[in-house]
Amino acid sequence: MPKLQSVYPRGHFFQQMAGAHQVDAAAMVSTRGFFGLYPSATFLYGCIRTDDGEMFEICRRVSHHGEGVATGIATDDSALSKPPAVLLVMSTEVDGEQLRFDLNSMQLQATTDDCEISLEGKDAVWKSAAGASGRPFRITFNESSCSWHEEGLFSLSGPILKPGLHWYLPGRDYGTYYVSQIFELKGEIKGRPCKGMIAFDQTYMGQGGNLYKNKDLVMEHQGHNVWYTWSTRYEDGSYECGHFMLGNGPLGFAVFTDGEQVVATRDITGFVTPREGSPFAERIDFVIDGEKWEFTPDPRGAMPDMMRKHPPTPQQEGFMRRVGETRKPIVWFAWGETEEEHGLSPQDRLPIEPIFA
């Protein structure tokens, strides 16, 4: 039975609720809020691997309250602190050793500023604004599949790995509601055959809130040690996908599915083994409901350019699995971060606890 080490002001729990949700295209383009929270952002992110062995980490974010950087990866700290409106592309092609910003590709694509959002039949659609500078994009989402086309760069499509997963963190004045769907995609990138996995997620925050930036209860209180989104397709046709967070105090959860069953629990602990002389992890070990899991970074999976953003977070791509897993993976992604400053393993109390006079 979990024991609480701290007593918080009225309205604070610092405990996440997690589960599965029914996938609905109309809900993806709705302006409806939940739990007194407002739509904050829609974002797609994941890992695509080419048949010739290169790896691309891609992310596009659509703000729902008009904030963003329209000029690419800026050099001044004030611009970097804003949520990105550019297409983020990191690639092992740049230096052959890590995932680095592919600035040439990023600067050619249209931003998400004034992105057009609509429901076309059964498809939710996001597309670059008419007349927008840069190469256009078009993204579609329905209850069984999605497509993501960035003109001149890549074209991807594929099925959803149902059900959708979501988690909710209530708070005294605001919280976070996080809604996720995961897709297995294939197509071409830079003219080469490829395949991979992406998450297609949405956040609801306090009015004007953004993950990492403001009105984010987890970041404000140095609440997490590890946060990963992951998915794996195995050779036998089975799959698993989910979200893991190691957290301080009462924070932390795991929610994952194999398409038949959903596991949602707050019984999660673990520890990060840091890479010597680096902000990145050598490996991450978890124990979830008494079962051992492990994250193994891809040898080229470190994303050093993500340390340039504010706040800097050491993010890595790799592989998430149960210890002793014998199935052979054929498509996978695990994109997440460790926060060494918040601790290498869960602490009994939040490093920054809310205090009200």
Q: What Å distances lie between residue 271 and 172, 199, 225, 288, 344, CA to CA?
A: 29, 25, 8, 12, 6
Structure letter (DSSP) for residue 100: E
| Token pair belonging to 192 | 């080469």
Task: Specify whether the backbone of 114 is left (phi greater than 0), alpha (psi in -120 to 50) or beta.
Answer: left
Number of H helices, E strands in the chain: 4, 22
| Token pair belonging to 237 | 């046709």
37 alpha carbon, distance to own chain's centre: 19
Three-state DSSP at 104 gives helix
User: Is residue 357 a part of any domain in this protein?
Assistant: no
Given this model, what pLDDT does residue 354 score?
Answer: 82
Given this model, what pLDDT does residue 310 score?
Answer: 77
**Per-run averaged pLDDT (10 residues), the chain, 357 residues:** 79 96 97 96 98 98 64 39 80 98 96 93 96 95 98 99 98 98 99 99 96 94 96 99 97 98 98 95 98 98 92 95 98 97 93 74
Is residue 35 within 8 Å of residue 280, measured between CB atoms? Answer: no
Q: Among 20, 50, 341, 347, which residue's Cα sits nearest to residue 194?
A: 50
User: Is residue 349 a part of any domain in this protein?
Assistant: no
Polymer length in residues for the chain: 357
d(CA 28, CA 351): 35
Determine the structural domain holding residue 78 and report its residue range: 17-342
User: Is residue 259 a part of any domain in this protein?
Assistant: yes
Q: What is the pTM of this model?
A: 0.93
Given this model, what pLDDT does residue 286 score?
Answer: 99
User: Is residue 351 a part of any domain in this protein?
Assistant: no
Q: Among 178, 197, 177, 169, which residue's Cα sits nearest to residue 330?
A: 197
d(CA 106, CA 84): 11
d(CA 334, CA 241): 9
User: Is residue 276 a part of any domain in this protein?
Assistant: yes
Buried/exposed 139-164: b ≥16 CB within 10 Å, e otherwise? bbbbbeebbbbbeebbbbebebbbbb
Task: Specify whether the backbone of 135 is left (phi greater than 0), alpha (psi in -120 to 50) or beta.
Answer: beta
User: Is residue 106 a part of any domain in this protein?
Assistant: yes
**286, amino acid identity:** F
d(CA 100, CA 89): 8
Is residue 15 within 8 Å of residue 6, measured between CB atoms? Answer: no
Given this model, what pLDDT does residue 84 score?
Answer: 65
> For residue 181, what are the β-bridge partners?
200
Tally the domains of the chain.
Answer: 1
d(CA 270, CA 151): 42
